Structure 1
């Protein structure tokens, strides 16, 4: 479904929004490529293949390193990882267009907002870099749960903290991992800039969602482009 056909009933009952990070909050493809290619270069390997680039974009850090490095390098890779400062790739990150305006509106209307990401320990740094500290609560990283996405564990932690039913929350993601996570958790799934996913709603831009929510809030229906 696309946003131009929505009305007030579609949004009824939604109380919380759960966001993925990479590809949803930030355009991080270039940053991820730079980060993981540092490992490849360190071990004398060529840059990642396109398939590997796409994989690390949605996988956890441990899963990504397992995929792009031979097994004999993994122990040393963990030691090398501890020496890296993620701030060196922050200049490659870009906040998704229209996101700040959407978050400001949602916060003003009292919606709950959280993050469920397969990043391991860089979210505080990333959110601070973009002036988003304190916007999301909770922020669930792979290191916060026993099983990262596509396990629904992170979503369950968020819903339990919010004291919210699955049908009252929306997961906004951009990958098959996010789609599987939302389905396993029983929450509504909205796909961001990925028409290949099976989703209740496909979003091409946050400005469209902001405009639609404001129209619905003002009693105008349906939303029109």
Structure 2
């Protein structure tokens, strides 16, 4: 076996460019309750966190609306926002070229929308293990999801690497004790920084 036997990927911002989908989705929820659209800072927050955490954050100044907003968010049809969801360039080619021998997994803070995303993009064809926020008690940056993937795969953390794009990803990889590749974010503390998926293959096999 090589240096790395398991590569764990974040989903949003790494596998999928979902920034505009998130903008449209959460702005639709805010608009339903008569509130202003998200700021860029708020958009960055929801890009990294679970749906429930995001709703509570966005409605922190509208406490009376939180409960109904959570209910509405679960009923809102995510298919209306799929046109804004795009797979990052090079994902399929890179994953095909590394597995086997390397196992691939996704650890994501997506929750109720993840089954639909898996189905539409065929992610279960490219990734051996997929763990979302519904599969754990504590979402990222808690490393529970990472440890779940390690247990399922049987791979030691010393032979595992994590690829993410946010401070949440940096934190979870460090808490799990596995090396981190920062994707399109030079501000993160990482063992490697990459701007394209093809660079990930070079790291895994060198």
1:71-110 mapped onto 2 (5 Å cutoff): 71-107=63-99, 109-110=100-101
Give the TM-score, by structure 1 length: 0.86
- 1:13 CA drift (Å): 2.1
1:195 aligns with 2:182: no
1:139 aligns with 2:127: no
- Displacement over 6 Å in runs of 4+: none
Closer, same or farther: CA 53–166 of 1 in aligned 2, 3 Å: same
Contact kept, 8 Å, 2:51 with 2:111, in 1: the verdict is yes
- 1:12 CA drift (Å): 4.2
- 1:213 CA drift (Å): 6.0
> Which residue is 1:207 aligned to?
198
Of the candidates 10, 14, 24, which is equivalent to residue 20 of structure 1?
10
Closer, same or farther: CA 165–57 of 1 in aligned 2, 3 Å: same
> Which residue is 1:116 aligned to?
107
Of the candidates 156, 163, 178, which is equivalent to residue 165 of structure 1?
156
Of the candidates 52, 55, 76, which is equivalent to residue 62 of structure 1?
52
Q: Which structure 2 residue ranges, 5 or more long, are not aligned?
A: none
Contact kept, 8 Å, 1:124 with 1:133, in 2: the verdict is no
Count of aligned positions: 204
- 1:125 CA drift (Å): 1.4
Of the candidates 27, 42, 50, which is equivalent to residue 37 of structure 1?
27
1:149 aligns with 2:140: yes
Deviates more, 1:180-189 or 1:65-74: 65-74
- Partner Cα separation in structure 2 for residue 121 and residue 61 of structure 1: 8
1:178 aligns with 2:169: yes
Task: Work out which of the two has the higher radius of gyration on C-alpha atoms and give 1 or 2.
Answer: 1
1:47 aligns with 2:10: no
Q: Give the CA RMSD over aligned residues.
A: 1.7
Deviates more, 1:138-147 or 1:35-44: 138-147
- Structure having greater relative contact order (Cα 8 Å, sep ≥ 6): 1
Deviates more, 1:70-79 or 1:158-167: 70-79
